[in-house]
């Protein structure tokens, strides 16, 4: 049995080709590039990707102003059932499937991935067919045809066919259950399950999660401290004749004797801070001043921690973009995600060292793109799905509000400049004109950077969409680009026009000044 999926590609088709070929990870998903194919004869799949990119770029698209840009290609997926089939069968069936649904006219690159429970083929198809016509897929219309073609191929190679491909109605509740996104708690459970199996120590797990953008609080730093620090009110402090301090220990009626070097006023005559080395022995007294002998500071600290450690102890994690902390011990009824049990699970996973791929990541300095790739990778492995409007990407970036605000601010700036320019005489204010031109140039440079960053984030979202990590429709993606990028492009055009206007005005003033100087020199010569 096989399942099929498909998405339209926008932007650079090579991004998708590079991803499915797994070049970044040295083609480990395709077994060193063995399970790959393309439609071009005697051409490597990577070069086939460049051919498709070139064909899309050179395609003469006849369109009127205002029409939408056409897709640069399609990403299709042909997946066998978990534990079923071989990579060779999957490659052969996927190639036959793409040729069937395109009538043999599609140019494509196929890469079979073997890193999941189900062997699956990724197909990147060019939007320009071999007859130089544009391949326009209508998903609602063509989905059944693509599915039927896959079923015929499955029967041909003696694979079972999904019952759901038969004409059978589904309730709205059933459809919603299949398309709902994972909750933050479920997301965290799945990520922890995958990450625990890949690390050799709890410290590496914590570093890994923090590098991925999770916030982790476990109270262990406090326990590992070699200093016992506490504060005391003036009512609990008594200064001795020798210059030492008798201080009542928090949550106790007994007192300790503290030398001046361990004592510091936070607010003179009100509150003091006491810092005692954990290995120090201090003199211990009863409430009435009776001497009890020496006591280890570590014992005092342990007693203090036992009194203060209430409901906020254990492991708490905040996923990227979320405002809420999640206490892991409540993720399951059996407490298997508590701090102690997570440490126990790491000890029992049989690893002597952390996965080298993860170890290099947590001890390196990954950039934004590398961090996104690692997060996307573990979300894929954990089979995590996020709804677009509730996703951590959507909440953390907040592109809409930011770019709308920036656009409004620049509008106000432009309007103010235009109004002031009407009131000023350019020749008397040449310095102001140059300063304004410089300000606009800086704004334009910043705007180019914003557009570049937005393109990177859109590409990242598209990759998440391709792999099913981010549940987002084509309409949502188009709306997102329209609301965020189009205002920036319009503002960029306006800024360039304004800068050009200032340049012309400055040039005219300088020409006039040079002409006046020349005429003045001529009058001097005539005399």
Q: What's the pLDDT at 306?
A: 56
pLDDT at position 46 is 82
Annotated domain spans of the chain: 2-59+66-168, 184-219+314-384, 221-308, 394-526
- For residue 235, give the nearest of 286, 269, 261 by alpha carbon: 269
Q: Name the 3-class secondary structure at 353.
A: coil
Contact (Cβ atoms closer than 8 angstroms) between residue 73 and residue 13: yes
Please tell me the pTM assigned to this model.
0.39
Task: Assess contact for 17 and 96: CB atoms under 8 A.
Answer: no
Q: What is the DSSP letter of 260?
A: G
120 vs 113: CA distance, rounded Å: 6
For strand 215-217 and strand 316-318, is the pairing parallel, antiparallel, or unpaired? antiparallel
Reading the chain (527 residues) residue by residue, the pLDDT tens digits are 678 888 888 878 888 888 898 887 778 899 888 999 999 887 788 888 878 877 665 664 444 444 455 788 999 999 888 888 899 999 999 999 999 999 999 999 999 999 888 899 999 999 999 988 889 888 878 888 898 899 999 988 888 775 444 444 444 444 444 545 557 888 889 899 999 988 988 889 999 999 988 989 886 655 456 788 888 888 888 888 888 999 887 677 888 899 999 998 888 888 888 888 888 888 988 888 888 888 888 777 776 665 555 444 578 998 887 778 888 988 888 888 998 899 889 988 878 788 888 888 888 888 877 888 888 888 878 877 665 555 554 444 444 455 555 566 666 666 555 544 544 566 667 787 788 888 889 888 888 888 888 878 877 777 777 667 777 776 777 778 778 877 887 888 888 888 888 887 787 777 767 776 777 766 555 54
**Rounded to 5 degrees, what angle do the CA atoms 72, 77, 78 make?**
145
Q: Tokens representing 38?
A: 């393309």
In sequence order, what are the residues at sequence separation of 6 or more whose Cβ sits closer than 8 angstroms to the Cβ of residue 390? Answer: 181
CATH topology of domain 2-59+66-168: BirA Bifunctional Protein; domain 2 (3.30.930)
Residues 17 and 46: beta-carbon distance below 8 Å = yes
User: What is the pLDDT at residue 425?
Assistant: 60
Q: What is the 3-state secondary structure (H, E, C) of 198-239?
A: CCCCHHHHHHHHHHCCCEEECCHHHHHCCEEEEEEEHHHEEE
């Amino acid at each position: 049995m096989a399942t099929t999926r498909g998405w339209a590609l926008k932007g650079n088709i090579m991004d998708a080709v590079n991803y499915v070929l797994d070049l970044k990870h040295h083609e480990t998903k395709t077994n060193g590039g063995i399970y790959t194919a393309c439609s071009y004869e005697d051409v490597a799949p990577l070069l086939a990707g460049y051919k498709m990119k070139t064909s899309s770029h050179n395609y003469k698209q006849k369109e009127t102003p205002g029409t939408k840009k056409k897709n640069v290609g399609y990403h299709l997926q042909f997946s066998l059932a978990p534990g079923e089939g071989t990579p060779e069968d999957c490659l052969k069936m996927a190639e036959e499937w793409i040729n069937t649904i395109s009538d043999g006219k599609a140019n494509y690159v196929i890469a079979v991935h073997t890193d999941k429970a189900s062997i699956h083929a990724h197909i990147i198809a060019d939007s320009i067919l071999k007859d130089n016509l544009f391949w326009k897929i209508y998903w609602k219309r063509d989905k059944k045809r693509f599915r039927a073609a896959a079923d015929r191929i499955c029967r041909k190679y003696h694979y079972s066919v999904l019952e759901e491909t038969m004409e059978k109605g589904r309730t709205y509740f059933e459809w919603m259950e299949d398309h709902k996104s994972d909750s933050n708690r479920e997301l965290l459970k799945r990520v922890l399950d995958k990450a625990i199996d890949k690390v050799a120590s709890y410290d590496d797990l914590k570093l890994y999660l923090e590098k991925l953008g999770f916030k982790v609080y476990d109270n262990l730093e406090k326990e590992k401290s070699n200093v016992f620090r506490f504060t005391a009110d003036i009512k609990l402090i008594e200064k001795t004749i020798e210059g030492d301090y008798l201080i009542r220990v928090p949550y106790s009626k007994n007192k300790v004797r503290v030398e001046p070097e361990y004592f510091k006023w936070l607010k003179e005559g009100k509150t003091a801070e006491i810092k005692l080395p954990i290995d120090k022995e201090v003199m211990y007294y009863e409430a009435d001043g009776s001497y009890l002998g020496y006591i280890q500071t570590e014992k005092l600290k342990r007693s203090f921690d036992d009194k203060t450690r209430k409901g906020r102890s254990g492991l708490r994690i905040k996923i990227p973009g979320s405002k809420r902390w999640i206490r892991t011990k409540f993720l399951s009824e059996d407490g298997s995600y508590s701090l102690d049990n997570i440490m126990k699970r790491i000890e029992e996973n049989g690893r002597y060292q952390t996965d080298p791929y993860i170890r290099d990541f947590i001890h390196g300095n990954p950039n934004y793109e590398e961090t996104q790739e690692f997060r996307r990778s573990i979300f894929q492995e954990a089979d995590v799905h996020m709804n677009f409007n509730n996703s951590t990407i959507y909440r953390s970036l907040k592109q809409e509000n930011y770019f709308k605000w920036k656009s409004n601010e620049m509008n106000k700036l432009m309007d103010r400049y235009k109004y002031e320019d009407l009131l000023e005489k350019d020749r008397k204010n040449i310095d102001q004109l140059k300063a304004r031109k410089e300000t606009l140039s800086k704004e334009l440079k910043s705007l180019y950077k914003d557009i570049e960053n937005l393109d990177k984030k859109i590409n990242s979202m598209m990759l998440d969409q391709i792999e099913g990590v981010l549940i987002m429709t084509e309409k949502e993606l188009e709306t997102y680009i329209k609301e965020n990028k189009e205002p920036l492009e319009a503002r960029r055009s306006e800024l360039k026009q304004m800068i050009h206007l200032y340049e012309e005005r400055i040039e005219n003033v300088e020409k006039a000044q040079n002409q006046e100087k020349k005429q003045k020199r001529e009058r001097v010569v005539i005399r």
